[in-house]
Structure 1
Amino acid sequence: MRFLIHPLLCLGLVATLAACATSSPPPVAELAPTGKLRAAINFGNPILATKDAATGEARGVSVDLARELGRRLGVPVELVTFQAAGKVVEAVTAAQVDIGFVAIDPVRGAGMAQTPPYVIIEGAYLVKNSSPIKSNAEVDRPGNRIVVGNGSAYDLYLTRELKNAKLVKAPTSPAVTDTFLAQNIEVAAGVKQQLQADARRLPGLRLLDGRFMVIQQAMGLPKGREAGARYVTAFVEEMKASGFVAEALARHKIEGAAVAGPQR
């Protein structure tokens, strides 16, 4: 006999299991070995974090998650800020920080432990209004150059996937559009929301319809912290199931990002 379980019941079970997993004493020695939780925050992805225009303080869903995790561990949180995802990866891999917020990628996964995703975002292409390129399918062609943030999820993905177009590396993701214009490159690639903001800021630019990739944003920890990784994985699942992530996205007025589904 087969039994069907209602999707809402599944979510409730996930939330219950995650809550049970994080209700046990947290492995503070693994997650905060210096007595504080050092959290790498990437300002290069506006979906995750930005600087408050009035105070200059970090704000965003990743900041909220870091502070909530620190609260549960009972330790202060030190926000270590970066302008590029590649720098976050380096800091986590070298255990210079205790947690980071980065896209899931097999290259990055070789140097760190990664949780299931908490947020799903889209990667898009930007071109000039005068460009003959009309669709995503026309980008990977001989003669086209695509500028990406060095070490970003887009860089790693396109390095694997491109067959004909060539990649050009900007120092950071926020510098992609400026590099695109300064070097008269055919296409810019990055976070859809960042490129939309650039198109509003600068005349003569347009986004191609749709997306060329989906990015799964997760929390990462240095390798070798197995108990810590299990705890943070359960923490992420609870934060999704409880509505914490959705509320953070709404509070920070983030559009175009979705809460990732529960891990099966």
Structure 2
Amino acid sequence: MRTGLVKSALAALALAAAFVMASPGANAQEMDSRLYRITKSGTLRVCQYPLYYSISYRNPATGEIEGIDADLSKELAKELGATLEIVETSFGTFIADLQADKCDIGMFGVGATLQRAQAVAFSHPYLKTSIYAVVKKDGPIKTWADVDKPGIRVVTTLGSYIEPFMRDYLKNAEFSAIAPPATREGELMANRADVVMTDYPTAIKVGDEFDWAAIVEPDEKLRITPYAYVVPQGDQIWLNYVNLFVDTIKLDGRLETYAEKNKLGPIVAP
């Protein structure tokens, strides 16, 4: 079923591309789509943040990047018949990296926000998450009500969608954003922070890997955010292909398979 679906969808895409080529309004930018460049060069350049648990995390023991987007970037490269090239980035720099043509696509659980959509284009969502707190079991945070108090040090990743939300949300706690190579978890372990604000993937992974960690959920879901793949603006042909890829892996089960593998099944987007 998967093969037939992909062939039919790609045939439709090819027909649409042929229509664009034949249309008098087709411009040079459309004809220079990254889709054509990737298939011609045989290389797919994927921006990934290698410190994102369950999404795109470099295993210190093997040096390999693991997680759902490590798996799905390989699937996308396979569909394109291309070699996968990973370009390391961060939440603070990925927009500039895309705009500078350092990579063709960002695949590392990027929150699709209206602010970011002013600078880049997002695919259909494949995951969605709320905000969670990760704390030390023996620390001062026991419930969500303990978070926003004077003297509590709250951290999150610089450039993440959680950063601007928490700056507005917190009224009493001390808040800071952590830039790589430093990590939120490292700040917590070193007692330079009392609580890490993060998403579901990181909360689950840290809770699994460290016996000192505890997850605290808010009383109601905060800032539910879709995760999507991100591409440069102005390349509709490439965006169409990426959307088709997302729709296809939802239908043929690959998204669910890799989500379950990486303990992200509960946040798969419909």
How has the CA–CA distance of structure 1 residues 60 and 183 changed in structure 2, closer, same or farther, with 3 Å as cutoff? closer
Gaps of 5+ in 2: 18-29
SS of the aligned residue for 2:55 comes to coil
Matches within 5 A, 1:9-158: 20-23=8-11, 24-25=13-14, 29-32=32-35, 33=37, 35=41, 36-52=43-59, 55-82=62-89, 84-101=90-107, 102-158=110-166
Amino acid in the other structure paired with 1:98: D
Q: Offset of 1:150 from its aligned partner?
A: 0.8
Structure 1 window deviating more from structure 2 (234-243 vs 163-172): it is 163-172
How has the CA–CA distance of structure 1 residues 255 and 228 changed in structure 2, closer, same or farther, with 3 Å as cutoff? closer
Gaps of 5+ in 1: 1-11
Measured in 2, the distance between the counterparts of 1:61 and 1:77 equals 15
- The reply on whether 1:239 has 2:246 as its aligned counterpart is no
Deviations along 1:65-90, one digit per CA (max 9) or x if unpaired, are 223223333332211134x3333333
- The reply on whether 1:190 has 2:198 as its aligned counterpart is yes
SS of the aligned residue for 2:72 comes to helix
The question of whether the paired residues in 1 share the 8 Å contact of 2:68 and 2:262 is answered with: no
Q: Offset of 1:245 from its aligned partner?
A: 0.7
Measured in 2, the distance between the counterparts of 1:259 and 1:235 equals 15
The question of whether the paired residues in 1 share the 8 Å contact of 2:56 and 2:69 is answered with: yes
What TM-score does the superposition give when structure 1 sets the normalisation length? 0.76
How has the CA–CA distance of structure 1 residues 163 and 30 changed in structure 2, closer, same or farther, with 3 Å as cutoff? farther
How has the CA–CA distance of structure 1 residues 220 and 99 changed in structure 2, closer, same or farther, with 3 Å as cutoff? same
Q: Offset of 1:233 from its aligned partner?
A: 1.4
SS of the aligned residue for 1:127 comes to strand
How has the CA–CA distance of structure 1 residues 256 and 245 changed in structure 2, closer, same or farther, with 3 Å as cutoff? closer
Amino acid in the other structure paired with 2:99: T
Deviations along 1:93-130, one digit per CA (max 9) or x if unpaired, are 33221100212122222211001211224431123445
The question of whether the paired residues in 2 share the 8 Å contact of 1:127 and 1:208 is answered with: yes
SS of the aligned residue for 2:93 comes to helix
Deviations along 1:183-202, one digit per CA (max 9) or x if unpaired, are 54332212345345545666
The question of whether the paired residues in 2 share the 8 Å contact of 1:150 and 1:171 is answered with: yes
Report sequence identity in percent.
24
Measured in 2, the distance between the counterparts of 1:255 and 1:174 equals 25
Q: Offset of 1:213 from its aligned partner?
A: 4.2
The question of whether the paired residues in 2 share the 8 Å contact of 1:94 and 1:222 is answered with: no
The question of whether the paired residues in 1 share the 8 Å contact of 2:51 and 2:58 is answered with: no
Structure 1 window deviating more from structure 2 (137-146 vs 89-98): it is 137-146
- Count of residue pairs the alignment pairs up: 245
Measured in 1, the distance between the counterparts of 2:66 and 2:190 equals 30
Amino acid in the other structure paired with 1:58: I
Deviations along 1:196-233, one digit per CA (max 9) or x if unpaired, are 55456666543213564444221000111122112211
Structure 1 window deviating more from structure 2 (169-178 vs 201-210): it is 201-210
What TM-score does the superposition give when structure 2 sets the normalisation length? 0.74
- The reply on whether 1:226 has 2:233 as its aligned counterpart is no
Measured in 2, the distance between the counterparts of 1:219 and 1:115 equals 5
Amino acid in the other structure paired with 2:96: E
SS of the aligned residue for 2:196 comes to strand
The question of whether the paired residues in 2 share the 8 Å contact of 1:121 and 1:257 is answered with: no
SS of the aligned residue for 1:80 comes to strand
How has the CA–CA distance of structure 1 residues 215 and 28 changed in structure 2, closer, same or farther, with 3 Å as cutoff? farther
How has the CA–CA distance of structure 1 residues 160 and 218 changed in structure 2, closer, same or farther, with 3 Å as cutoff? farther
Structure 1 window deviating more from structure 2 (157-166 vs 223-232): it is 157-166
Amino acid in the other structure paired with 1:245: L
